[in-house]
Amino acid sequence: MERNLVTEEVARNLEVARNLVTEEVARNLVTEKVPKNLTTEEVADRFRTSIETVRYWRHVGKGPRSFKVGKRVLYATQDVESWELQARGAAGAA
């Protein structure tokens, strides 16, 4: 009987610990800063290419969709990811 009580207490403690870890992970995910917009340099770094290449892609309409804020050219992370998926699909079809 005493063994069952210890087993139940250990199970309860494990469940409490599991909930605390889950809450901490969720809190970190919510507070983690993910940039919603990337600069030309960040896009170039992501695709391991030069800034000039990304500028050329923008000039000929080949790269991810971009927009300007003042003089600064930015890329929405979602647009970059979509463009990457399309490029992967085209590479797989070739």
Report domain extents, the chain: 1-32, 37-93
Q: Is the dihedral of CA 76, 79, 81, 84 positive or negative?
A: negative
Contact status, residue 92 vs residue 83, Cβ threshold 8 Å = no
pTM above 0.85, yes or no: no
Tell me the pLDDT of the chain (94 aa) as tens digits.
Answer: 566 666 787 778 777 767 766 666 666 655 556 568 999 999 999 999 999 999 999 999 999 999 999 999 999 999 999 999 998 887 776 6
Q: Which of 84, 33, 34, 78 is nearest to 54 (CA)?
A: 84
Contact between 66 and 78 (Cβ < 8 Å): no
Fold of 37-93: Multidrug-efflux Transporter Regulator; Chain: A; Domain 2 (1.10.1660)
The amino acid sitting at 93 is: A
Q: Quickly list H helices, 32-76.
A: 40-46, 51-60
